Amino acid sequence: MSELDYTFAVARVRVLEKSLLTDADIAQMTALSDEPAVLQFLAGKGWGESGAAHQTAEDMLACETEKTKQTVRELLAEPELLQIFSYQDMYHNLKAAIKVTCTQGEAPGVFVSCPGFDRERMLQIVGEKAWRELPAHMQEAAAEAYQTLLQTRDGQRCDIILDRAALEAIAKAGKESDEPVIRDYADRLVSVADIRIAVRAAGVGKNREFLTKALAPCPSLDAAGLARAAAAGKESVIAWLRTTRFAPAADALAQSPSAFERWCDDEMTEAIRPQKRNPFSAGPVIAYMLARQNEIRMARILLTAKANGLPETAIRERTRRMYG
């Protein structure tokens, strides 16, 4: 599709970007006294249903999620561009369905909303071992994860098979995409996910064999080097990260786990930031969608923190950089 066909959509997005939350808004919300005050602030910014009284945090966030989906549906002429963003949900539901089927247990609230691959559909596919009904990139991993869980009863091995398959599918879809924003997003997501896995594995003393299986190859990161460093422990990961372009991750990791999680989310925001200067193509529409998801996630963190009475300093450590 011609990039000029997005001229109308990008112009609309530029107006919508004005209502995105800024870093100053987040600082202001952090300073508010409690959850109702944050909800009131967000309602003043047009969040939630207009005119609705006494909205709960969940209602407001669900409403904003739906508004974002609706806007993107209106603006994006090629919905297939969004497929890559549902891969993680698809693999998550597959993982849940395999575990529920193999353990014959119940897992209420584990499945996430994923059109085409929701709870019932995924349970049916796994129950019938109808792997061919899954997208091509999921079939082999699904069969392997299912067999592994049946034979070993090791949920973690099942997880790493599917997590790696999800990352490889995202990396491949990103590489094949014509949209720079999708290419950058996929590359950044896989590298950040690898670093996150390595940090967690190093924390619980996983060996190199586990790490080699868990980390997905990524053009901007030496997965083998990261696996080697993680097998030697957290300090070794920090030292290794300092030698790469992910040095800020090392500083965040040295500071605290929440600072590291913040760095992970900020990296994703940085991946979409160049779209602010792009007047044509689908990139700004996709960037707007990701920015909205990021601010909804940030609002959830703030609301939860306020509801649980977390001090301002602890909240500030968790505040993500905004796109707006």
Q: Applying CB under 8 A, which residues contact another protein?
A: 4, 7-18, 279-280
Q: How far is the CB of 279 from another protein (least distance, A)?
A: 4
Q: Which residues contact 86 (CB under 8 A, 6 or more apart)?
A: 114, 115, 117
Instruction: Identify which of residues 12 and 316 has a Cβ nearer to another protein in the complex.
Output: 12
Shortest Cβ 20–another protein spacing (Å):
11
Q: How many Cβ atoms from other residues are within 10 Å of residue 179's Cβ?
A: 18
Cβ distance to another protein smaller for residue 9 or 197: 9
Cβ proximity to another protein, 6 vs 111, nearer residue = 6
- What is each CA distance from 226 to 32, 218, 236, 315, 316, in whole angstroms? 41, 11, 9, 30, 29
Q: Is 316 exposed, middle or buried (0-12, 13-18, 19+ CB in 10 A)?
A: middle
Nearer Cβ to another protein (18/132): 18
Shortest Å, Cβ 133 to another protein: 39
132/277 with CB nearer another protein: 277
- Rounded to a whole number of angstroms, the minimum distance from the CB of residue 247 to another protein is 32
Distance in Å, CB of 264 to another protein, minimum: 28
Q: How far is the CB of 22 from another protein (least distance, A)?
A: 12
State the chain's maximal CA–CA distance in angstroms.
56
Closest distance of CB 15 from another protein, Å: 4
Residue count of the chain: 324
Tokens of 77: 């002429």
3-state secondary structure of 118: coil
- CB nearer to another protein: give 15 or 136: 15
- The structure tokens 């014959």 sit at 104
Q: Is 321 exposed, middle or buried (0-12, 13-18, 19+ CB in 10 A)?
A: middle
Give the other-Cβ count within 10 Å of 24's Cβ: 10
For residue 54, the number of C-alpha atoms closer than 13 Å in the C-beta half-sphere is 0
Of the pair 8, 256, the CB lying nearest another protein is at: 8
| 3-class DSSP state of 205 | coil
Quick one: 212 or 278, whose CB is closer to another protein?
Answer: 278
Q: How far is the CB of 277 from another protein (least distance, A)?
A: 9
CA–CA dist 242, 265 (Å, integer): 19
